[in-house]
Amino acid sequence: MHDHHGDIMKSPFFQESWSERLQHEISAAAQRQADIRQLACRYKELLPDRLKQLTAEYRRQRHPAGKATRMALKDPRYLKWLDELAELSSEALKTRIRWEHLRMLWDARKSSGLPPHSAATQSRRFPTPYPAGKDGSPAEHTSGKAQR
């Protein structure tokens, strides 16, 4: 019995289109992760300002400082902001995992001995979701912890 599926998989047409799709997915995943991560970082940066604004609002209502802070921390607007930050951080992690998965798939394919389709696909460098270091190499992943 002849394996037609194997013939299709070895076809240069199939391999080229698969490579192009994978390259596109890797680039798109890196861009999406970077965008979401940047937005989550911005939300996190603005969090203390949001709390100060709400605390000041309660202080103008003549509440003592401690009570104004507690009220601000329980304010639905602040809690909504926290929920949005948590969702963005979660989405950033999911897209980072997706990007890493696609890169592993690409690397596994390159090391499987399948013939390269072109010089461009063999030496293709993909964008990373993290900014480059001073020497141009990808920055270290910090697991979401702020660098100080």
Q: Is 144 left (phi over 0), alpha (psi -120 to 50) or beta?
A: left
Least confident segment among 46-50, 70-74, 131-135: 131-135
Query: Could you tell me the pTM of the whole model?
Result: 0.61
pLDDT band (50, 70, 90) for residue 118? very low
* Length reported for the chain: 148
Chain mean pLDDT for the chain: 77
Residue 66: what pLDDT? 96
Burial class of residue 123, CB neighbours in 10 A (0-12, 13-18, 19+): exposed
- Average pLDDT, integer, range 14-24: 75
Q: Is the pLDDT higher at 17 or at 103?
A: 103
Q: Taking 90 as the threshold, does the pLDDT of residue 138 lie above it?
A: no
